[in-house]
Structure 1
């Protein structure tokens, strides 16, 4: 029985014979992305001990997020060209191939390539899953479906570290990726069985290739700054990465086929301020997800499972506060924009000290505070950034919110890897070096958190 032919009582419920399998399909697609980062962050110290590559640590996240950005920008074109069913199934297959590449990787460079392919698949899967909601459910249920699938991200906060920790503790980190290969195979089969067949139209849609190329180049230059021997060359590469970001924004403002709204670089607009706040705060915070598990395991002789849960406090703090402030009226959201940005800054400073020098409890509390800052303001920043865009760009502004966050994550992960290598962590986390240089590694990105506060302060007016 189709969604449109469900009985009146069934059509107002998500869980019935017709809709439950479709809802499970969406949850599985979102789960593949939601759990990936926390699972991988938990097992990364085990990966590096097995196949080396501490000097490329940040790329495990940066490559994945860069792939997600590219795929997210191309998913609409892919859906138009192939049709929703084939595009979603193809994306799931790409994700499975990336997971298999990571699982089979004999060296860290191959592992990073697998992570890039994973990101390409996962970014497209998530984008297309949200598109599929309109094809699988009656319109009256769309708001409830969007709210329900959001709980998958909260579930990943709890289950992600558990999965990663169990596989790492068993000395079989590759098994975590094989598990996701199996889940992706189930997802592809379910997509082919449940999504309606549709024809594509390759002539429709344009991908913003110049902006994506400049973005990938900029992130690559920032990451490369950490693996070159010459400090002068490292500085030059980092500057080149920053210029690449600026060039991407300049090109984006001058082309009709944009990755971000035209006002993304206009700091006199609410859209520009909002996207800057999201980018800057994410860039400042992502280093704790990348290097937190390794520092916690080394400094406290903690198990991968425990380290994963300590880092998971960031997501837990975010989710908890987001639920608490979810019904704040629009006329009061400016206060939470400012308050959240200030809490992010305070949480980042506390976490920069606690991660290398604090107790486990102090570290978890600092991480929870950092996440709480995002939970307090992220939705309201997004609301103002989207509302501040011209009417014909509000849909693009909606997509630009997660895209800006992904760009910040990829940039911050690459930058954290570069900074870690410059500070002497290219061959692992030495306890004495962690005590002396660890705070500088994490605090190096505090100026970006300050920039986020300044932008949020203006946005909150």
Structure 2
């Protein structure tokens, strides 16, 4: 943490003028611009998905493609955390700012997704309508390249260059763990491409076993590990919180992946409308994260439980509203799901980092988005299995979409319930001696 940032606040109120004078806020804004680029890309892809699938006739590969995309994000995130720590939003907050203002800064990062919620669907719809969905990807290729080049200048600071490991060297890259993870996700995704009971079951079993091996390999290599310990132990607030991150990330990616496709195919809803229904989730996330950021820190665990219940309610609601095609009810579920994340995520991140063992705070802060990405990758692969098994293996048509809509969201409700149980476990630990706030 910089000397300037050490005296920025005396409470959980932010002195924005002091942050700007120190230069930390300007760097945070640049990191947020990178988040904006990434988030806009994601909402754009969700919007153009029906046009892509309609032209390429590859609905069976939707889950597969999103799983591979998330694997790329995981590898890039792991590399960024070891090369330029400031490039990763969660890590930059942990390293540059005092812990008691993290909820506000995480709230700003969430607000970026709200901006992207408007720009992504609009860009995707305009490109699809007047040019081609391929143009949208070209625009983001140019933007990403420009952002990468600018980062060498903007983030070239002593804090960003400071090694995270002892001995003056950055942690080694976790090649073995990521190789096992990639193989595991590919196996799960492959299980759903061409559904056959024996083959698909075997691939799914091998993939899930590989995931367990990935976390084991990561734990056995302390110099390069991606996650703090104890990772999934419910005896620790960190373990319960990371379980919640994993469960909800797997469970909720289905709406983004298949929502526009199902709504367009089943109910003839225009692409731009489906894009803004998806965007409503991000908008709710952003607005509520900002509104809740200044809540008393002693209420953080209750807030986490409320957010978890909202997420699970929205997820369960999709199982009814998507097949029914009621836009107001679908919108309500999107607001519940996104708003739930906005309510609990800033505080959940703070609990994870505050609960980490000494020396593992940086690992813990970077582990949150990494676990999200792993959850999205595994969730996308599993969603592909469910979608293809319930109709999409025969191709894209209204009858197949009706079958998928009936089963897809219901299949992930148990994960939503599991996430709520993890949140309740975090709350039940509130009567124990609280960890220092920083």
Q: Taking structure 2 as the reference length, what is the TM-score of the superposition?
A: 0.83
Counterpart pick for 2:199 among 224, 230, 233: 233
User: What SS does the aligned partner of 1:217 have?
Assistant: helix
Counterpart pick for 1:53 among 36, 54, 58: 58
Counterpart pick for 1:420 among 387, 397, 404: 387
- Larger mean CA deviation between 421-430 and 408-417 belongs to 421-430
User: Structure 1 142/194 Cα, relative in aligned 2: closer, same or farther at 3 Å?
Assistant: farther
Counterpart pick for 1:247 among 204, 207, 213: 213
Distance 2:104 2:65 in 1: 34
User: Structure 1 265/249 Cα, relative in aligned 2: closer, same or farther at 3 Å?
Assistant: farther
- Structure with the bigger RCO (C-alpha within 8 Å, sep 6+) is 2
- In the alignment, is the contact (CA less than 8 A) between 2:386 and 2:404 conserved in 1? no
Aligned to 2:366: 399
Q: How does 1:115-264 map to 2 (within 5 A)?
A: 126-127=87-88, 131=92, 150-191=110-151, 194=154, 196=156, 204-257=170-223, 258-264=225-231
Distance 1:130 1:268 in 2: 25
User: Structure 1 217/287 Cα, relative in aligned 2: closer, same or farther at 3 Å?
Assistant: same
- In the alignment, is the contact (CA less than 8 A) between 1:32 and 1:184 conserved in 2? yes
How far 1:77 sits from its partner (Å)? 3.0
Distance 2:393 2:234 in 1: 37
User: What SS does the aligned partner of 1:328 have?
Assistant: coil
5+ residue gaps in structure 2? 5-15, 429-438
Distance 1:250 1:411 in 2: 17
Distance 2:25 2:240 in 1: 40
Q: Are residue 276 (structure 1) and residue 243 (structure 2) matched?
A: yes
User: Structure 1 359/146 Cα, relative in aligned 2: closer, same or farther at 3 Å?
Assistant: closer
Distance 2:107 2:291 in 1: 15
Q: Taking structure 1 as the reference length, what is the TM-score of the superposition?
A: 0.79
User: Structure 1 437/146 Cα, relative in aligned 2: closer, same or farther at 3 Å?
Assistant: closer
- The number of equivalent residue pairs is 405
Distance 1:231 1:67 in 2: 29
The Cα RMSD (Å) is 3.3
Distance 1:276 1:444 in 2: 19
Q: Are residue 320 (structure 1) and residue 287 (structure 2) matched?
A: yes
Q: Are residue 365 (structure 1) and residue 325 (structure 2) matched?
A: no
5+ residue gaps in structure 1? 5-9, 85-125
Aligned to 1:379: 346
How far 1:36 sits from its partner (Å)? 1.3
User: What SS does the aligned partner of 1:265 have?
Assistant: coil
User: Structure 1 345/19 Cα, relative in aligned 2: closer, same or farther at 3 Å?
Assistant: closer
User: Structure 1 27/268 Cα, relative in aligned 2: closer, same or farther at 3 Å?
Assistant: closer
- In the alignment, is the contact (CA less than 8 A) between 1:227 and 1:418 conserved in 2? yes
- Larger mean CA deviation between 449-458 and 242-251 belongs to 242-251
- In the alignment, is the contact (CA less than 8 A) between 1:45 and 1:294 conserved in 2? yes
How far 1:55 sits from its partner (Å)? 0.9
Distance 1:215 1:376 in 2: 30
